[in-house]
Structure 1
Amino acid sequence: MPFGTKPGADGQPIDFNRVYLELIKPALEDAGFEVFRADEETRAGDIRTDMFQELLAADLVVADLTLDNPNVWYELGVRHALRARGVVLVQGPRSTSPFDIYTDRKLRYGVAAGAPDPATLAIDRAALAKMARETQNASTRRKVSPVYTLLPHLQQPRWQDLLLSGDNEFAQRYEAWRSRLEVAQQKHRAGDILVLAEETPVRALAVEARFQAGRALMRLPQFTFALEQFDAALAIDDEHLGSRQQRAVCLGRLRRTEEAREAALQLTEEHPQDPECWSLAGRVEKSAWIDRFREPGEPWTPGAFRDKAALEDALLAEAITPYRHAFATAPNHLFAGINALTLNTLRAHLGGEHDPAETDRLLAGLRWGIACALERKPKDYWARAAQAEVSLLCDSRAAVQRDWRAATAAAGRDWLALDSSRQQLQLLSGLGFRPEETALALGIVEGELRRLNPPFEPRQVLLFSGHIMDAPSRPEPRFPLAMEPAARAALEQALDRLGAGPEDIALTQGAAGGDLMFTEAALARGVKVVWMQPLPEPQFIESSVQRATNAEDWRLRYYAARAQLAEPPRSMAQELGPPPPGINVWERGNRWLLHTTLAYGPDKARCVVLWDGGGGDGPGGTRHMVEEIKRRTGRVQWIDTRRLPLA
């Protein structure tokens, strides 16, 4: 928009700073946006670089076309050229409408005495807020830019490609967020990813974060909770291909076969040249085939499923076709190729119709693809695993042993990758395929898995939230020291009712009062306790341990319990970075605890609270924790401090 006071179409001056401050900014804030104008940039540097970055990264751009200002038109053109949506046009009084956007929807606002017209200001604000919300919430299939509307096959750049070279504020915020997300992924901490997903600088990053959270949850595996993340991503961008693909995988793993099949079919129709979509369709059909002859959790006894699987030849054929199509579309897609070859070979093994020449063609193509992959990256586990599976299908026992040992060596202690290979070998074993060779390969993989530490899978996750012990200066007692004996006994009874033991994990902060008493009782029962603290530990001790009544005793108990923890306390500042502006660190800490608990699986969540029932309803508080756990599992044990006796 123009800055300062400029003559309008009738020659009368218009104060555009007042238009911004009285109309545009409050209207957008009412719609829930963080509002920024280019002249508010105070950092030293190239203002054009900062303006370009903000123009491309913003979720929404508002352009004021009251005047034919060349800078405004140029900036609007840049946005239209590189982003397909997220633009709102406004204009004050003018005698003509520019031809280029004559048909575009624009919000017209009133001006009187060179400023927003007081008679229409409230109406104009409400209309702009409504227009902004509708633009933001509109389907991503609805394109605002005339460039993308007129060129339907033009693809807008990925948001990662819209990061400018050089130093600018948005790039710094993005890089800090991205590096924290990457660390959370490497540590397989879906709870961390879920918190970061709520704190993304722009909506485009929120889509990516929800997608990555879903992927992390699938690896746990928590398919119901993962499905929620993909749905959340698609609520923002209903065309996000990765989320659509993984959503279909989740549906298949949850045995919602028809929904998964329909989702996969739609993807192949919309993206007929995308091998990943075809491979996904094969995966859905493969899971449906397996579900027909084996119940979930049923052990893979060698040869036990051969006869039942042989009766499902039609479903097996339905799985082979999309895998084969994916491999034909992209011969470097080894996952599709090895599945097409393996299922084709199994079909012959089970007595179904098959074309030996087709198997030979798949084998030849796959050998070439694997050789190329290993030439590029000799330690690529998935290429090594594909080579090992090829050997199991058709090579000698010696080759099977050699290639599976090479594959496990390339895994680099990746337990989840090896477990994926084990599942494929268990399928071959259960169908009685080459029993000796399959047993040999399975023994190699399982032997390597035994040498690694599998991801800890708790039986139940005990989330504690409760009051800190009152400080001596607290005017109205809430949790006085005299209540400690009764509270401690109630906590022990709650853990006994839950059968808490070494197979469980407990999450809390470690503050004086409820946290420490809960920790002590859980440790006494062999529970793995993890402290997740919203502040760096020295600050946390100062604010949440040292200020309680009888502080020195609590400090000693804190360090005694800390020495028994399986790992040092996790610091939110270190794991997630500083909170975004306006985010309360304590509420953020509670959300961190809640998301980490749910990431293990909502069905495992057990909440214990030492609470007087008060507090607000905002996200992150004890009330929010209780309501969220109740909504998902109903497993909450509430110790009401109002009913506890004093010693």
Structure 2
Amino acid sequence: MKPLCFVLMPFGRKPEGTGRIIDFDAVYNQIIRPGVEAAGMEPIRADQEEIGGTIHKPMFERLMLCEYAIADVTGANPNVYYELGIRHALRPHSTVIIFAENTTLPFDIAQQRGAPYRLDANGGVVDGEGDSAMIAQRLRTANENTHDDSPLFQMIDGMPRIEVDHAKTDIFRDRVAIAREYRDALEVARRQGVDAVRAVAADPRLAELRNVEAGIIVDMLLSFRAVGTAEGCQEMVALHARMPKELQHARMVREQLGFALNRLGRSDEAEKVLVEVIREFGPNSETNGLLGRVYKDLWEKAKADGQRIPARGYLKRAIETYRAGFEADWRDPYPGINVVTLMEIQDKPDPGLEALLPVVRYAANQRATRDGGSAGDYWDHATLLELAVLARDEEAAEEAAATALALVREPWEPATTARNLRLIREARETRGEDVAWLAELEEALADAEARMMAK
């Protein structure tokens, strides 16, 4: 039976002190995980901090019961430091600290023997194989001696050492295996539809969510979202009501609740949830993007109902909300593309559109060519598609559409893009422009949605 190694680190793409954007998922997959496995250990990664920094029972169990731990302190992520502090208080040794080369460590841990890994100027991995070997060696060394690496146990005589009951460790291992089982089951179920996801969620072992890992709960929430149906959104709202209070309050979970409520036509409730998140945490590209969608939907409804003046007000609020989200993080083109699209479809196109368009285009190009020029994801190229449409560049629009359609994962992705293109097409038709080429792109997106729904 392999020893368990708990990995404490950020998730996704995050900035660090020098301004570089680091892809921590790539660091995990190319450096940390191979290193842990080469040391003969089984890696377990902490739940994504997008859950909102929620620390609950399963997280404490991992910090206490995993025989080894790796903490990546790059970027001074507060969740990682909090978890590292708990680990040092619980375990006298077997915790390895790693960081990107040239990271400035705070005084508290600067004296600890850490291991640097190498990244290039763009935050990409330089030598995954070499750095993995270094991590494997550090873990083997930790396995061969009982030297205390916790500053608490080094400096304070008589610190109590916890003796872990083997029965408790066995139960913990069973839970880890169950967590993997559910994640695998949900990955399959989300491609099969809402009934399949519902069947996984109905497992009796998930009845009491207080004892279920936050990561599994959030996987269920996002799996119901991924099916792209009203039923899925209803299940999201119902699942939220069953969650532990601390998880209900997490920003990411509240954002998803707002998304589901809006898709169910409960726009007032969705607006309230998302406005409260922004009031508590400040403007954010994700939260503002979701709230902007609420106002965008209200604008479309008012417009369809012939309510010209209310429609104008909702459109204005949507533009302001998306813009605040883009200004909160210029690197995220999602709220930016919505700003420039809505500026375009106003009765009189906003004169600020020409100034903002290059900024959004730069952010979108940076996102689409990250990781040394790899393909990016669907949304990267869907954004480039919309930008090409706004620029009336048919050739670039077709090229971006072809790339985006090859990267579709969920049916609601092309449906969302087709909706935005329709709004642009209708606005331009009203002005007397030839928009036949736009209709062809919409049709291709609709076909992609239909294919994904048929799978």
Question: Could you tell me the percent identity over the aligned residues?
Answer: 20
Which residue of structure 2 aligns with residue 179 of structure 1? 184
Q: Whole-Å Cα distance in 2 between the matches of residues 378 and 454 of structure 1?
A: 20
Which residue of structure 1 aligns with residue 420 of structure 2? 424
> Is the counterpart of residue 371 in structure 1 residue 369 in structure 2?
no
1:194 maps to amino acid: A
Alignment of 1:562-601 (within 5 A): none
Which residue of structure 2 aligns with residue 232 of structure 1? 242
Q: Whole-Å Cα distance in 1 between the matches of residues 375 and 59 of structure 2?
A: 40
1:428 maps to amino acid: I
Whether contact under 8 Å (1:384, 1:407) holds in the other structure is yes
Paired residues, number: 292
Whether contact under 8 Å (1:275, 1:329) holds in the other structure is yes
Which residue of structure 2 aligns with residue 339 of structure 1? 338
Deviation of the 1:343 alpha carbon: 0.8
Which residue of structure 1 aligns with residue 440 of structure 2? 443
- Change in 2 beyond 3 A, CA 1:58/1:315: same
Which residue of structure 2 aligns with residue 470 of structure 1? none
Whether contact under 8 Å (1:267, 1:277) holds in the other structure is yes
Which residue of structure 1 aligns with residue 319 of structure 2? 320
Deviation of the 1:181 alpha carbon: 2.5
Q: Whole-Å Cα distance in 2 between the matches of residues 259 and 403 of structure 1?
A: 36
Q: Whole-Å Cα distance in 2 between the matches of residues 365 and 323 of structure 1?
A: 14
Q: Whole-Å Cα distance in 1 between the matches of residues 413 and 325 of structure 2?
A: 22
- Change in 2 beyond 3 A, CA 1:342/1:309: farther
Q: Whole-Å Cα distance in 1 between the matches of residues 83 and 329 of structure 2?
A: 34
SS in 2 for 1:331: coil
Whether contact under 8 Å (1:193, 1:213) holds in the other structure is no
Q: Whole-Å Cα distance in 2 between the matches of residues 387 and 450 of structure 1?
A: 20
Alignment of 1:460-499 (within 5 A): none
Whether contact under 8 Å (2:179, 2:216) holds in the other structure is no
Which residue of structure 2 aligns with residue 251 of structure 1? 261
1:427 maps to amino acid: L
Deviation of the 1:453 alpha carbon: 2.9
Deviation of the 1:319 alpha carbon: 0.5
- Change in 2 beyond 3 A, CA 1:243/1:442: farther
2:451 maps to amino acid: N
- Change in 2 beyond 3 A, CA 1:447/1:267: same
Q: Whole-Å Cα distance in 2 between the matches of residues 273 and 312 of structure 1?
A: 24
> Is the counterpart of residue 382 in structure 1 residue 370 in structure 2?
no
Which residue of structure 2 aligns with residue 329 of structure 1? 328
Moved more, 423-432 or 443-452: 443-452
- Change in 2 beyond 3 A, CA 1:54/1:210: closer
- Change in 2 beyond 3 A, CA 1:249/1:187: same
SS in 2 for 1:332: coil
TM-score by length of 1: 0.40
Question: CA deviation digits over 1:70-103, x for unaligned, max 9?
Answer: xxxxxxxx999549xxxxxxxxxxxxxxxxxxxx
Deviation of the 1:180 alpha carbon: 2.3
Question: CA deviation digits over 1:454-489, x for unaligned, max 9?
Answer: 5259xxxxxxxxxxxxxxxxxxxxxxxxxxxxxxxx
Which residue of structure 1 aligns with residue 29 of structure 2? none
Whether contact under 8 Å (2:283, 2:328) holds in the other structure is yes
Whether contact under 8 Å (1:289, 1:315) holds in the other structure is yes
Q: Whole-Å Cα distance in 2 between the matches of residues 343 and 438 of structure 1?
A: 17
Pick from 340, 351, 357: which aligns with 2:348?
Answer: 351
Q: Whole-Å Cα distance in 2 between the matches of residues 330 and 399 of structure 1?
A: 26
Whether contact under 8 Å (1:190, 1:216) holds in the other structure is no
Which residue of structure 2 aligns with residue 33 of structure 1? none
The answer for unaligned runs of 5 or more in structure 1 is: 1-45, 62-77, 84-163, 296-304, 458-647
Which residue of structure 1 aligns with residue 451 of structure 2? 453
Whether contact under 8 Å (2:58, 2:212) holds in the other structure is no
Deviation of the 1:339 alpha carbon: 0.3
Q: Whole-Å Cα distance in 1 between the matches of residues 257 and 409 of structure 2?
A: 28
1:173 maps to amino acid: I
Pick from 277, 289, 292: which aligns with 1:279?
Answer: 289
Q: Whole-Å Cα distance in 1 between the matches of residues 343 and 445 of structure 2?
A: 29
Whichever structure has more helix as a proportion of its residues is 2
Which residue of structure 1 aligns with residue 274 of structure 2? 264
TM-score by length of 2: 0.55
The answer for unaligned runs of 5 or more in structure 2 is: 1-40, 45-55, 65-81, 88-168
Whether contact under 8 Å (2:278, 2:287) holds in the other structure is yes
Question: CA deviation digits over 1:375-397, x for unaligned, max 9?
Answer: 12324221111111111112334
Whether contact under 8 Å (1:274, 1:326) holds in the other structure is yes
Q: Whole-Å Cα distance in 2 between the matches of residues 182 and 54 of structure 1?
A: 24
Question: CA deviation digits over 1:516-572, x for unaligned, max 9?
Answer: xxxxxxxxxxxxxxxxxxxxxxxxxxxxxxxxxxxxxxxxxxxxxxxxxxxxxxxxx
1:195 maps to amino acid: A
Which residue of structure 2 aligns with residue 404 of structure 1? 401
RMSD (Å) for aligned C-alpha atoms: 3.9
SS in 1 for 2:369: helix
1:364 maps to amino acid: P
Whether contact under 8 Å (1:278, 1:322) holds in the other structure is yes
Deviation of the 1:56 alpha carbon: 4.5
Which residue of structure 2 aligns with residue 395 of structure 1? 392
Q: Whole-Å Cα distance in 1 between the matches of residues 339 and 366 of structure 2?
A: 19
SS in 2 for 1:370: helix
Whether contact under 8 Å (2:233, 2:263) holds in the other structure is yes
SS in 1 for 2:202: helix
Q: Whole-Å Cα distance in 2 between the matches of residues 228 and 372 of structure 1?
A: 38
Q: Whole-Å Cα distance in 2 between the matches of residues 429 and 216 of structure 1?
A: 27
Q: Whole-Å Cα distance in 2 between the matches of residues 249 and 371 of structure 1?
A: 27
- Change in 2 beyond 3 A, CA 1:444/1:371: same
Whether contact under 8 Å (2:298, 2:311) holds in the other structure is no
1:172 maps to amino acid: A
Whether contact under 8 Å (1:57, 1:202) holds in the other structure is no
Deviation of the 1:338 alpha carbon: 0.5
Question: CA deviation digits over 1:337-358, x for unaligned, max 9?
Answer: 11011111222xx137x3x2x3
Question: CA deviation digits over 1:42-84, x for unaligned, max 9?
Answer: xxxx9xx9xxx9985559x9xxxxxxxxxxxxxxxx999549x
Deviation of the 1:362 alpha carbon: 2.0
Deviation of the 1:193 alpha carbon: 3.6
Q: Whole-Å Cα distance in 2 between the matches of residues 435 and 387 of structure 1?
A: 25
Q: Whole-Å Cα distance in 2 between the matches of residues 380 and 213 of structure 1?
A: 18
- Change in 2 beyond 3 A, CA 1:332/1:432: same
Question: CA deviation digits over 1:135-156, x for unaligned, max 9?
Answer: xxxxxxxxxxxxxxxxxxxxxx
Deviation of the 1:359 alpha carbon: 1.6
